[in-house]
Structure 1
Amino acid sequence: MTQLVCPEFDAFEAALYGVQGKYVLRSRQYRDWRLKMIDLDGAAIMLGKEGASTAYSGTGMPGYFNIFVPLSAQQYTIVNGHAFDADTIGWMSPERMFHIVAERAASWLTVAIAAPLVVRWCQSHADEFDLASLSDNFVCTGRGPVPALRSMIGRILQVERDDSAQLNFPNAAIVVRAELVDKVLRAVLDGNDRSLRYRIVQRHRWILDRALELLNSMPEGPILVDDLCAATGASERTIRNVFHHYLGMSPHRYLMLYRMHRIRSAILNAGPAATVSEICGRFGVWDFGRFAQLYCHYFGVIPSRTLGTRLSVKSS
């Protein structure tokens, strides 16, 4: 088992397996970020404990399917606009965008499964399930299969804690991996009743994906809601509804937080002659006092402290 304790969210974000994306902190961090992972050679279990309430946007890595199961604060978790409970799981297909909002710092588990294992399982169960839905992201609820999946993962974790060598025997690893894949896919497919779950309009998903692509591709400078409207061809009201539905906040607040993260990144990569005022000015900040208060609220230090620490590290 691999275990990490990360004082900052950046290291935690970089260590995630099977997905790639970005965190936006929705509150000030108040604890370390913790990650445990068991790699079963093609299927990996991750247990994460976040240090703040967050909004995470990302995609499944090429060649990997993922499930997401919140372990705490389920009622404060929203995935692709769907509220969760203890029996709800999210399914993420490779290279498909997804969005997870945790209104409180949460713990969760994920299972990443290599595509060949999913394909092999599907070939053996083509007469039991409608497998076409696995190619897209969705959220489902299974009152029987989900607890069974949790129970099995709990057993794997217990065995790993008590005698990790048991999982290292080749034949044992093959069996536990096969059983885990079976439990995951049965939980996903048994709970994927499209007649009972709310389907988000495809255009709204495209609007959000396009808006975030714009943010990631724009050079330094101010970004306004009008820019998002122009890039997506959507009205401000539609943009507002989409951001609230998927990310749990208004586009104005998201842009403010996104800009703050970009400024933090620019400060961390600043040269010796850089100043906080100059960096903030490049991103359209005009009220430095208000910005410094917000920055301190979310990151725990004032911007000049971040710059000073960064420059002292570079010079040492």
Structure 2
Amino acid sequence: MSRLVCADFDEFEEALYGVQGRYVLRSRQQRDWRLRVVELNGVALMFGREGAGTVYSGVGLPGFFNIFLPLNRHECTVVNGHRFDRRLLAWMVPDAMFHIDASQPATWMTVAMSCELVLRWAKVHEDEFDPSILSRNLVNVAQMDIAPLIWLARRLFRIDQQAPEDLHNPAAEHAARTELMDRVFRTLLPLATPGRAPRARLDHQQILRKALELLASIKEAPVHMEDLCVAAGASERTLRNVFNRYLGMSPHRYLMMHRLHTIRGAILQARPGDTITDICAQYGVWDFGRFAGHYRTYFGELPSQSLHGRLRTAGTLPLHSIIR
């Protein structure tokens, strides 16, 4: 995690991710300026605390889309002429000018997402995505409660601060950035234009068979929603309908349960020297506390207890072993 504490706004201004612009102070400085950034290989989460009331005029950098939401003083924040409240968030596209007027020192959150990742997400969700948002800035009423997005962001900051090695391996970063982008767009969407022509009906049995075949064929790597959509040749909305109809749950929940069972299988086949951290890293686990809670709910014991039981059965548990 990048942490920056500045006595004035110049260094703070230069460190902002995904945008470029200038601050004009509209009140005297009341506190220092603070910035925290977590980078997830194409997605950057940023918390900022400004030291004064400001006007910021900027432009989205060519490679990034951004969302912006204030975390306090909502009524004192105006974005592109729209006064904020707790239900609004702003969307900024590359190369488009925007203006943020904060009459009081504000704290805010942004998520910068690479164009490549946004376009990939849009393709997987093409029947519920309005492509016109890719070319215009907007201030939109959130379609879901914003609180879960903020909660997820705070979890990422906490893990990045306390256990960065858990978050910054390729599988974990992929899982974390996928979860964050899904939450961003679920909060922003639906924005699909009414009356769009429906896609041709696909064979639900064939979709389900292809998705489950992919899960069965991959044993030692994480599987994500995008992988299921590509394998099944269907959008996420169609997959949700199929999974809920035939399996009684969403594909997100099915993937979570599949991952739990896969990791449990790997634990029960563990060799001397294997740790829970090593095993879970293969499957994109980045929040071990949350994962352990889910694991105990389904299997009645913590992952570490499963591993200790496996090693005791095999007669290879070292006396000094303490594995979380």
In which range does the TM-score fall when normalised by the shorter chain?
Answer: 0.5 to 0.7
Report deviation, 1:174.
0.6
Structure 2 counterpart of 1:117: 117
**Post-superposition offset of 1:161:** 2.7
Q: Distance in 2 between matches of 1:143 and 1:28?
A: 36
TM-aligned CA deviation for residue 172 of structure 1: 0.7
Aligned residue number for residue 71 of structure 1: 71
**Alignment correspondent of 1:17:** 17
Determine the structure 2 residue equivalent to 1:180: 180
Distance 1:97 1:194, change over 3 A: farther
Distance (Å, rounded) in 1 between the aligned partners of 2:178 and 2:28:
40
Measured against aligned partners, the alpha-carbon deviations of 1:203-237 in whole angstroms (never above 9, x if no partner) come to xxxxxxxxxxxxxxxxxxxxxxxxxxxxxxxxxxx
Which position in structure 1 is the counterpart of 2:45? 45
Q: Distance in 2 between matches of 1:120 and 1:194?
A: 19
- 2:87 corresponds to 1:107: no
CA distance in 2, matches of 1:188, 1:95: 20
CA RMSD of aligned residues (A): 1.7
**Residue of structure 1 in register with 2:129 after alignment:** 129
Contact 2:166–2:172 at 8 Å: present in 1 too? Answer: yes
Counterpart in the other structure of 1:161: 161
The code of the aligned residue for 1:127 comes to D
The CA distance in 1 between the partners of 2:192 and 2:106, in whole Å, is: 27
Distance 1:16 1:28 in 2: 21
1:81 aligns with 2:84: no
Query: Higher relative contact order by CA 8 Å / sep ≥ 6: 1 or 2?
Result: 1
**Cα distance change of structure 1 residues 193 and 122 upon mapping to structure 2, 3 Å threshold:** closer
Look up the match of 2:57: 57
Aligned counterparts of 2:65 and 2:161: Cα–Cα separation in 1:
26
What TM-score results when the alignment is normalised by the length of structure 1? 0.59
d(CA) in 1 for partners of 2:147, 2:171: 26
Structure 2: tracts of 5 or more residues without a match: 195-324
Measure, in 2, the Cα distance between the counterparts of 1:93 and 1:72: 24
The one-letter amino acid paired with 1:70 is P
- Structure 1: gaps spanning 5 or more residues: 196-316
Per-residue Cα deviation, 1:146-199 (whole angstroms, up to 9, x for no partner): 222112112212222331211112101111111111111222223x5999xxxx
AA aligned to 1:87 is R
| Aligned AA (2:95) | E
What amino acid maps onto 2:140 in structure 1?
C
**Paired residue type of 1:129:** F
| In 1: Cα distance, 2:129 partner to 2:170 partner | 30
**Alpha-carbon distance in 1 for matches of 2:58, 2:145:** 26
**Identity rate of aligned residues, in percent?**
48
Q: Secondary structure at the match of 2:29?
A: coil
Aligned to 1:35: 35
Structure 1 distance, partners of 2:80, 2:193, is 15
Which amino acid counterpart does residue 105 of structure 2 have in structure 1? A
Instruction: Give the secondary-structure state (helix, strand or coil) at the position aligned to 1:175.
Output: helix
* Distance in 2 of aligned mates of 1:125 and 1:144: 17
Q: How far apart are the structure 2 equivalents of 1:6 and 1:193?
A: 42
Q: Aligned to 2:128, what secondary structure does the other structure show? A: coil
Q: Which amino acid aligns with 1:52?
A: A
SS in 2 for 1:144: coil
TM-score by length of 2: 0.58
Matches of residues 264-303 of structure 1 in structure 2 within 5 Å? none
Task: Check conservation: 1:145, 1:183, Cα contact below 8 A.
Answer: no
Aligned counterparts of 1:12 and 1:171: Cα–Cα separation in 2 = 31
Amino acid in structure 1 at the alignment position of 2:155 = R
AA partner of residue 72 (structure 1):
N
Letter in 1 for 2:9: F
Aligned residues: 194
Partner of 1:93: 93
SS of equivalent to 1:28: coil
Contact 1:8 1:33 in 2 (8 A): yes
> Do 2:143 and 2:186's aligned partners in 1 also have CA atoms closer than 8 Å?
no
Aligned in 2, Cα 1:193/1:106: closer, same or farther, shift over 3 Å? Answer: farther
Corresponding residue for residue 138 of structure 2? 138
